[in-house]
Amino acid sequence: MTLQEFINQWNGKKLDYDNYAGNQCVDLTKKWLSGLGYSVTGAWGNAKDWDKNGNREGLTWIANTPSGIPKEGDIMVFGGGSYGHVDIFISGDINSFKAFDQNYPNGKLEPCGIFTHKYTGNLYVKGWLRPDKYNPAPTVDPKDTRIIELEAQVIDFQAREDDAKRKLEACEKQTNVTIVRMQTDIDNLNSDKKSLEANLEAIRSSLESSKQENNQLEDTNIQLSSKNSTLRKNIIELEKKLLECEKKVVVKSFWQSILDFLKGVK
Ligand SMILES: [Ca+2]
């Protein structure tokens, strides 16, 4: 039977193992030892005397010291008061501990229950009886547990730090790639811009040439119009002269015919 099973069985109940004086604290510890296979008959006396009376075969007496920590299942023996006290150690450290008690804390035949105790006070721990027949699973020192937790946290933090570093490196790498790509894009755009500017300049130059040619053509056109006008005037003049000449020819022809007639008459 484990201590936990024993507690589950008796917690909140009254236990009078020896049928004497009601449910005393020693009834609980006798029941516990009996369950472990110890003979608990004979004179055990008051609780405060269990340091002497309980030091029997298979039970080892361990005196209290500032650094001593009992084990689960040990019978704690208290001095102080009229009769002292006994209970069963559950867990604790050098400062305080939890135990399974009966007839506690006021000695008014209270039922079994779990209480926290100090090693010193009106009731003080003289020491504990270790039942060699009870081998509970080794308990872990709370400090060791805390160290294991902290070590796990350190490992977790390191893992998170490594992860963050990897992400940062990947991000930096990606950023560098992006920067290089952007630089290339900028170079290409600058190249395109230069090419476009050259084209624009060529177009401007070509436009300028066209304008000049256009101006020259306009000048030539004006000159030709002027010449045309002059030529028209000349033609009109010449037509007038031609007409006059024709008139003269007609008159001359008339007089010639008259002359010819007269020559014939003679
Ligand atoms: Ca009793």
Asked whether residue 126 is assigned to any structural domain, the reply reads yes
State the pLDDT at residue 146.
82
Q: What mean pLDDT, rounded, does the chain reach?
A: 93
Asked whether residue 174 is assigned to any structural domain, the reply reads no
Bridge partner residues of 129 (DSSP) = 61, 75
Asked whether residue 152 is assigned to any structural domain, the reply reads no
Q: What integer is the mean pLDDT of 145-153?
A: 85
Asked whether residue 22 is assigned to any structural domain, the reply reads yes
Q: Is pLDDT at 140 greater than 90 in this prediction?
A: no
State the pLDDT at residue 149.
84
Cα 96 to ligand 1 centroid, rounded to whole Å: 27
Asked whether residue 224 is assigned to any structural domain, the reply reads no
Q: Is pLDDT at 104 greater than 80 in this prediction?
A: yes
Cα 225 to ligand 1 centroid, rounded to whole Å: 150
Asked whether residue 133 is assigned to any structural domain, the reply reads yes
Q: Is pLDDT at 71 greater than 70 in this prediction?
A: yes
Asked whether residue 233 is assigned to any structural domain, the reply reads no
Cα 246 to ligand 1 centroid, rounded to whole Å: 179
Give me the number of domains the chain comprises.
1
Which stretch of 64-68, 125-129, 146-150, 252-256 has the lowest confidence by average pLDDT?
A: 146-150
Assigned token pair, 95: 């400062």
| CATH number, domain containing residue 7 | 3.90.1720.10
Q: Is pLDDT at 80 greater than 90 in this prediction?
A: yes
Q: What integer is the mean pLDDT of 135-162?
A: 84
Cα 30 to ligand 1 centroid, rounded to whole Å: 10
Cα 110 to ligand 1 centroid, rounded to whole Å: 12
Residue 53 makes CB contacts below 8 A (sequence gap 6+) with 43, 44, 45
Model pLDDT for residues 171-228, shown as the tens digit of each residue? 999 999 999 999 999 999 999 999 999 999 999 999 999 999 999 999 999 999 999 9
Model pLDDT for residues 21-34, shown as the tens digit of each residue? 999 999 999 999 99
* Burial bucket for residue 115 (CB in 10 Å: 0-12, 13-18, 19+): middle
Rounded to 10 deg, the angle between the 3-10 and 25-35 helix axes is 130
Cα 80 to ligand 1 centroid, rounded to whole Å: 20
Cα 231 to ligand 1 centroid, rounded to whole Å: 159
Cα 232 to ligand 1 centroid, rounded to whole Å: 160
Asked whether residue 183 is assigned to any structural domain, the reply reads no
Q: Are strands 85-92 and 75-79 parallel, antiparallel or unpaired?
A: antiparallel
Residue 70 belongs to domain spanning: 3-137
